[in-house]
Each structure stands twice: as C-alpha cells, then as structure tokens.
Amino acid sequence: MRWLAGGLAALSIWGCASDYPPAPVSAASPDYRYIIGPGDMVNIVVWRNPDLSAIVPVRPDGKIAAPLVENLTAQGKTASSLARDIEKELSKVIRDPVVNVVVTIFVGPYSEQIRVVGEASRPQALAYKNKMTLLDVMIAVGGITDFADGNQATILRTSEGNKRYSVRIKDLIKRGDVSANVEMMPGDILIIPQSWF
C-alpha cells in the first residue's frame, strides 16, 4: 500500500505541468514590427551615393559602423527608424540624404528570441518571426528526443509576466494533430521535460 501512495504522490507532482492552461491558438500581434538586435546584418542604401551604401553587421554592443557613420546604435530600433538616424548623421556631410535600411540576416534582440530548452533535438535560441507557430519552432530545433514528454511541455510567456501555458508537442509532431499548433510570441521560452517512463 505504501508503494501505491508513493506512486500517486509522484504522479501528482509529475502531473503539475498539466495544471497550466492551454496556450492560446492566436497570440501574434497584427502591428508587430521587427526590432534590430546584435548579430543582425543590415543593408544600408543611400540614394545617389553608392559609395556610402554598405552591408554591415550589428555588433554585439548593438551598434553599427558604416561609411561616414561611426558607432550608431541600431539595437532596439526598426529598420525605418535606423534609416532616419543614419540620414541625420549623413546630413552633417551631404545634402538631403535619402536612406533605406533592409535587415538581411535576422537574429533580433535577446528579449524577443524564442528559447527552446530541455528535450529538444537541438535546444537553441531562434529569431522571432511574426505568426511563428509551435510547429515552426519544432521544425527549427529538429523535433524532440526519444526521452521527451512532449505533451507535458510548457511555454513561459515573458511578455505576460512569465505566465505559463501547456502545449501538446507530441500530439502535434508525432500524431499530426494540428489543433495542438499555437502561435508563439516574442520572448517565449519553450520548456520540454523528460519523460519519467
């Protein structure tokens, strides 16, 4: 009898992950704007000034350096706001510059990256993309390991004060149940626990 009580206690502790509410199917914001982060690559095009145009990386300190522009903060800005800042800098040396900035390699700021931890085949941080889903994340990390308890996985939603939601990864990727697919939000942390059995 003692083993039964101990087993039930272990199951009640183990089952705590399912006490979280299911993740909402729709979560993406319709007015989402990509924010530049360290590691991004930006293409700066200065109209009628090809010598001032360049493709430059955003350094780990969040700044860029381009022709006639040194140590300009790019992190935390949209491409269009960065273009306006570059125009301000260039207006000191050329007349009425017109600048366009296009992000060509996306990493994003740390606060918006999706982090996948636990029993993913390749745990990692991913750049957030608008309307990104759980299925997109699982494809990027190569699925789950044989030891994963995918249906006990949770999303820690930092944008909602670290609220936790349950997700059913095993149903989604092993059984093809598309009703288990949910949208991710910037800064989400996907936690995939190990199975006890």
Taking 50 as the threshold, does the pLDDT of residue 27 lie above it?
A: yes
pTM: 0.83
Asked whether residue 131 is domain-assigned, the answer is yes
- Same domain for 114 and 182? yes
Question: Which of 63, 83, 105 is the C-terminal boundary of a domain?
Answer: 105
- Same domain for 120 and 175? yes
Taking 90 as the threshold, does the pLDDT of residue 16 lie above it?
A: no
DSSP string, the chain: -HHHHHHHHHHHHHGGGGGSPBPPS----TT------TT-EEEEEETT-GGG-EEEEPPTTSEEEETTEEEEE-TT--HHHHHHHHHHHHTTTSSS--EEEEEEE----GGG-EEEEESBSS-EEE---TT-BHHHHHHHTT-B-TTB-GGG-EEEEGGGTSEEEE--HHHHHTS--GGG--B--TT-EEEEPBP--
Question: Which residue's structure tokens are 């083993």?
Answer: 3
Question: Which of 105, 138, 154 is the C-terminal boundary of a domain?
Answer: 105
Percent of the chain with pLDDT over 90: 87
Residue-averaged pLDDT of the chain: 91
- Same domain for 25 and 114? yes
CATH number at residue 54: 3.30.1950.10
Asked whether residue 56 is domain-assigned, the answer is yes
- Same domain for 98 and 64? yes
pLDDT of residue 29: 84
Question: At 30, is the pLDDT very low, low, confident or very high (cuts 50, 70, 90)?
Answer: confident
pLDDT of residue 14: 42
> Domain limits at 45?
41-105
pLDDT of residue 1: 42
Taking 60 as the threshold, does the pLDDT of residue 5 lie above it?
A: no
Asked whether residue 2 is domain-assigned, the answer is no
CATH number at residue 157: 3.10.560.10
- Same domain for 179 and 84? no
pLDDT of residue 7: 40
Q: For residue 188, which of 152, 157, 153 has the smallest C-alpha distance?
A: 157
- Same domain for 61 and 76? yes
Asked whether residue 6 is domain-assigned, the answer is no
Q: How far apart are CA 56 and CA 66, in angstroms?
A: 7
Asked whether residue 151 is domain-assigned, the answer is yes
- Same domain for 116 and 178? yes
Domain count, the chain: 2
pLDDT of residue 149: 96
Question: Which of 105, 123, 150 is the C-terminal boundary of a domain?
Answer: 105
pLDDT of residue 197: 66
Question: At 18, is the pLDDT very low, low, confident or very high (cuts 50, 70, 90)?
Answer: low
- Same domain for 94 and 120? no
State pLDDT tens for residues 122-172: 999 999 999 999 999 999 999 999 999 999 999 999 999 999 999 999 999
Question: At 89, is the pLDDT very low, low, confident or very high (cuts 50, 70, 90)?
Answer: very high
Asked whether residue 11 is domain-assigned, the answer is no
Asked whether residue 101 is domain-assigned, the answer is yes
